[in-house]
Amino acid sequence: MRLTIPKQRAVIGGLLIAVAAVLAFLAASGNRSVASTAVVIARHSIAPGTTLSEADLEIRSIPGAEQIISHTFGSIETLIGSRTLAPVENGELIQQSAVRTNNAEVEPRLSFPINREFALDGDLRSGDTVDVLATFGSGLDAETAVLARSARISSVHASDPSSSSGAGRFVITATFTTPDQVLDVAHAAQVAALTLIRTTTSSSPTTGRTIVTSPGALSFGAGSQGNGIAVP
pLDDT score at 222: 40
Pair (66, 83) in one structural domain? yes
Q: Which domain holds residue 177?
A: 109-230
Pair (114, 189) in one structural domain? yes
pLDDT score at 228: 46
- Asked if 45 contacts 74 with a C-beta cutoff of 8 angstroms, the reply is no
pTM here? 0.52
pLDDT score at 121: 92
Q: Which CATH number fits the domain that encloses residue 82? A: 3.90.1210.10
Q: Which amino acid is at 114?
A: I
- The phi, psi pair for 119, rounded to 5°, reads -130, 45
* pLDDT tens-digit series, residues 26-71: 455 555 555 677 889 999 999 998 999 999 999 988 765 555 666 7
Mean pLDDT for back-to-back runs of 10 residues, the chain (232 residues): 44 51 51 69 93 93 64 87 90 88 72 94 92 92 93 88 66 93 95 95 66 60 43 44
pLDDT score at 64: 58
Pair (226, 113) in one structural domain? yes
* Sequence-separated (6 or more) residues with CB below 8 Å from residue 25: none
pLDDT score at 96: 86
Task: Give the chain's end-to-end CA distance (angstroms, integer).
Answer: 54
pLDDT score at 232: 46
pLDDT score at 78: 87
Pair (55, 138) in one structural domain? no
Query: Does residue 2 sit within a domain?
Result: no
Query: Does residue 3 sit within a domain?
Result: no
* Sequence-separated (6 or more) residues with CB below 8 Å from residue 4: none
Cα angle 181-182-188, degrees, rounded to a multiple of 5: 90
pLDDT score at 219: 44
> What secondary structure, in 3-state letters, does the chain show?
CCCCCCCHHHHHHHHHHHHHHHHHHHHHCCCCCCCEEEEEEECCCECCCCECCHHHEEEEEEECHHHCHHHCCCCHHHHCCCEECCCECCCCECCHHHEECCCCCCCCEEEEEEEHHHCHHHCCCCCCEEEEEEEECCHHHCEEEEEEEEEEEEEEEECCCCCCCCCCEEEEEEECCCHHHHHHHHHHHHHCEEEEEECCCCCCCCCCCCEEECCCCCCCCCCCEECCEECC
Measured from the Cβ of residue 181, the count of other Cβ atoms closer than 10 Å reads 21
Pair (114, 219) in one structural domain? yes
Pair (170, 62) in one structural domain? no
Pair (120, 158) in one structural domain? yes
In the listed set 34, 68, 100, which residue is the last one of a domain according to the structure? 100
Query: Does residue 175 sit within a domain?
Result: yes
